[in-house]
Amino acid sequence: MEIISIDTVTRSIAETAAYYETVLGLPVSKEIGAVEVTAGRTVLRFREDADATGDQHYAFLIDDARFDAARAFLTAGPGLLSEGDRTEFEAQDAWNARSLYFPGPDRSVLEVIARRDLPRDLGAGPGAGAKASSPHVPGTQPDPFGPGDLLSVSEVGIAVPDVVDTADRLTEAGIGRYPAGSATFSPAGHIDGMLILVSVGRTWFPTSDRVVGEPPVAVVAQAGPASPGVMPGRYELAPGRVLVVRA
């Protein structure tokens, strides 16, 4: 279920545009009251809503071979978020992935995630204006991490009134549920893209002050080789929050 586009809101277009353009180096297209950010195969569109409440979460897919380069880049740039003294997080066995979290614009919690089971060609293809890094040759200095290393948006956090019921409905549509969910948290999707279904009022890991809100969001995804059983259609997750899956 590859995530193609996300349409949502931000409390500050200026802050959001400046962050993605100057901190992450991604292609940014500005218009009156909105900004589009291209991250590999995914386009994020933010419309300004100064009264929006809560904070948001997105995870960007990277190649596991670029994980150390990502850590160096983020440490020198926006900095890493931590839990105690930990800044690198190994996911549960079913995910076979590892992550780094970092602060984004408008109080968002951003993440880079390396999914080891994902075929290298799924998600490859840098966004317009971004150049993908060359593969690292052993014994040589690796290329610096850059915008071309962000292959797509791998996760979108979405608040829903009933996490379990929403996850059940998506499971019936072939959008799988990952293990270790709860009544307030349930990842739904596949290795090529997923929704993080959460309850309002939770905090975004690994922070204690970035709180889940209910901003409007429309996610467009494409069923792909890693998600063969997904049923195309439009899924109303909550008021103002929708998932559209294309065949």
Residue range 149-168: mean pLDDT, rounded: 97
What mean pLDDT is reported for the chain?
91
Contact call for residues 92 and 142 (beta carbons, < 8 A): no
Residue 27, pLDDT score? 98
Residue 91, pLDDT score? 87
Domain assignments of the chain as residue spans, ordered by start: 2-129+143-246
**Which burial class, exposed, middle or buried, applies to 247 when counting CB atoms under 10 A from its CB (0-12, 13-18, 19+)?**
exposed
Q: Which stretches of 96-247 are assigned E, i.e. beta strand?
A: 97-103, 109-115, 152-159, 185-190, 193-198, 217-222, 233-238, 241-246
- The Cα 215–Cα 217 span in angstroms is 6
pLDDT confidence band for 137 (50 / 70 / 90): low
> How do residues 78-109 score in pLDDT, each as one tens digit?
999 999 999 999 988 888 999 999 999 999 99
pTM comes to 0.92
Give every strand in the sheet of 88-90, ordered side by side.
88-90, 97-103, 109-115, 57-62, 152-159, 193-198, 185-190
Residue 181, pLDDT score? 82
Residue 176, pLDDT score? 87
Pick the CATH number of 2-129+143-246 from 3.10.290.10, 3.20.20.70, 3.10.180.10, 3.40.50.2300: 3.10.180.10
Contact call for residues 204 and 109 (beta carbons, < 8 A): yes
pLDDT confidence band for 131 (50 / 70 / 90): very low
> How do residues 200-216 score in pLDDT, each as one tens digit?
999 999 999 999 999 99
Q: What percent of the chain has pLDDT over 70?
A: 91
pLDDT confidence band for 122 (50 / 70 / 90): low
For residue 35, give Cα distances in angstroms to 47, 66, 109, 121, 245: 7, 28, 19, 28, 23
Sign of the Cα pseudo-torsion (223, 96, 66, 102, in order): positive
Residue 121, pLDDT score? 61
pLDDT confidence band for 228 (50 / 70 / 90): confident
Q: Is the pLDDT of residue 124 over 50?
A: no
Residue 126, pLDDT score? 39
Q: Which residue has the higher pLDDT, 119 or 223?
A: 223
Q: Is the pLDDT of residue 3 over 80?
A: yes
> How do residues 24-43 score in pLDDT, each as one tens digit?
999 999 999 999 999 999 99
Residue range 224-244: mean pLDDT, rounded: 93
DSSP string, 186-224: EEEEETTEEEEEE-TTPBPTT-SS-BB----EEEEEE--
Q: Which residue has the higher pLDDT, 118 or 202?
A: 202
Contact call for residues 25 and 151 (beta carbons, < 8 A): no
Residue range 8-18: mean pLDDT, rounded: 98
- The Cα 112–Cα 149 span in angstroms is 10
Sign of the Cα pseudo-torsion (163, 195, 227, 101, in order): negative
